[in-house]
Amino acid sequence: MVQRLLFFLFIFSSFSVYSQIQGPPPGILDYYKCDPEGDGVEVFDLASHFLFPFNVSGEEASNYNPLTFYLTEEDRNNGVNPIADPSNYVNISNPQKIYFRTYAINPGAYVYLEGGEFIHASQIPSPNLKNTLILCDDNGNGFNTFNLSKSREEILAGLDSGIYNLNYYETLVDAENEVNRITNVTSYNNSTNPQKVYVRVLNRFDETCYSIVELDLKVQGICQDLEVFLLPLLPPRPGFINEYRLYVNNLRDDSSISGRIQFNYDSFLELISVTEVGAGKTITNISNGFFLDIDNLSPNNSTYVSINIKTPISVPLGTVLVSEAVYLGTDYNLNNNYSRSTQTVVGSYDPNDITESHGPDILYSDFSNDDYLYYRVRFQNVGTADAINVSINNILNAKLDKSTIQMLTASHYHVFTRTDNQLNWKFDNIHLPSEDMDEPNSHGYVYYKIKPLAGYSIGDIIPNTAEIYFDFNPAVVTNTFNTEFTTTLSSKRFNKADFSISPNPATEMVELKFNKIATNEVHVNVYNIQGKLILNTNDTLQNNAIHINVASLESGMYFLKIGDGKNEVTQKLVIK
């Protein structure tokens, strides 16, 4: 009776694990080949790669003929339709499983051995741009010791980290030629300040597939980096309570942070409660908001509070509501210290949607190259049974810079991947209850930020749409959210783009110059970083400007609240 060697393939990470019934298992990994064109098609030399993929002794191996390759398991089992030219095989899917068999010259224990492995046409890696690594100038000399490996997670965000290696170099030429690699990656001392390091991101299975990205290093006096962002979980509806989450992230690698965040909700809204206020967090209520004091938030850690806010029945549909959060402390990166949520009051809503936190219009003059767009994709199981798996596909518009994407948070455990401009989130075994079973827990979301490509201009519109899959059902296609860069906002609200502050930092006198305002009367309150009111003034505009004497203020960071009698906006001021 003919004996066969059978192998059962299980996929685990990027490796193949075989369970044998009898005989030796294959001892070779999948075949990866670089695909510079990115079309998923390459020419593979199967004969050279799969020389003899069985773990047997050399003497035993010599008793077998060269491998024969097949496209299907059935053809291999029947020994028909072999691949005619295995040295120049062009794949028909990516990845694709190739089946092979070899016959014994002098049959002994086995007449033949057989197996199968995957071939992959690998795209050149498309890594993300890493934010600057910042360390404190502890010795006052501009030098410190960096752990470069901490950049790995952000550079490979959305990519399969299991198939990529990162090597670090001091010059671009060294990175391109793979010479003089930095060996002390976890304890690298910068040689200049600031300094660029070049990271070669390469496929560990085919090192001809690589990309090079720049990593900036900087040693400075102010090295604290605290990020805040607001995330509304549902759209506002008259008579209903909505939950906002105020997230606080310590982006420092080496020190804890304590500080104060001010949250202000729209004057149309009513604050019901603030929850998730555990150890290290204190809430102090103020008019139309509160102070959140954070105590010793550890490095690379995140926390949040839940804010339950009611939209009164009297608020008309279509009303634009703006809530804001701002960090009041000293920080090296002011761009991530402020977060605004702009939402429109609705009567009903689609529970599967995509929105951007700025709203549909962004003032071109108020948006810099350091600013991000913040997208939230929501989903809800409105079926009749729990959803075992949920998946989200999101193809980025060409006007978005795919290399700048950063995942912020999500409702459930997930695996996030990015293939070029295609984003995917997999919530396997989420068991999301249906709306009928458990309405509060039938919802989920993902929240990420990304920059538009440089060169955007007034009138540019960036659309974004997502597809949501519940188990094997057809995709639920969300709305298309359009973001337009404009010269004016459709909302009548007073905002940061309506005025400028100069100089900033200041020493004696500050000028507030207004581009447009509904009235000539302006009030300004100046708070210190503890939230204490230091100065307040009500002035009449002269040539569209007012002046504030700040000579009495001590050096440090201050918080200006500027209003025109109807709306208010906050801005930071640094006193030298």
Domain with residue 274: its CATH number is 2.60.40.680
**Do the domain assignments include residue 161?**
yes
Query: Do 12 and 80 fall within a single domain?
Result: yes
Check which CATH number belongs to the domain holding 565 and give it: 2.60.40.3080
Q: What is the arithmetic mean of pLDDT over 265-276?
A: 93
pLDDT tens-digit readout, 152-174: 888 988 887 788 889 999 999 99
CB 108 within 8 A of CB 114: no
Quick one: 306 and 396 in the same domain?
A: no
Q: How many independent structural domains does the chain possess?
A: 5
Same domain, yes or no: 359 and 463: yes
Mark whether 357 and 340 lie in a shared domain: no
User: Does residue 1 belong to any structural domain of this protein?
Assistant: no
- The answer to whether residue 501 is domain-embedded is yes
Domain boundary among 326, 344, 362: 344
Of 488, 491, 494, residue with least CA distance to 570: 494
Go through 52-90 and write b for each residue having 16 or more CB atoms within 10 A of its CB, e for each that does not: bbbebeeebeebbeebbbbbeeebbeeeeebbeebeebe
Distance CA 392, CA 426 (A): 7
Band the pLDDT of 573: cuts 50, 70, 90. Answer: confident
Residues 368, 446, single domain; the answer is yes
- Are residues 96 and 57 part of one domain? yes
Residue 394 counted as domain residue:
yes
Strands 521-527 and 556-563, bridge-based pairing: antiparallel
Q: Do 203 and 269 share a structural domain?
A: no
Residues 357 and 466 in one domain: yes
Look up the domain containing 569 and give its range.
496-575
Q: What are phi and psi of 186, to 5 degrees?
A: -85, -5
Mean pLDDT score of the chain: 85
pTM: 0.66
More confident residue, 376 or 331: 376
Q: What pLDDT is recorded for position 109?
A: 64
End of a domain among 123, 144, 166? 123
Contacts of 265 (CB under 8 A, 6+ apart): 271, 288, 289, 307, 309, 323
Continuous H helices in 115-239: 152-155, 172-177
380 and 463 together in one domain = yes
Instruction: State whether 279 and 376 are in the same domain.
Output: no
What proportion of the chain, given as a percentage, has pLDDT over 90? 47
CA 281 → CA 84, 259, 271, 409, distances in Å?
Answer: 69, 10, 18, 20
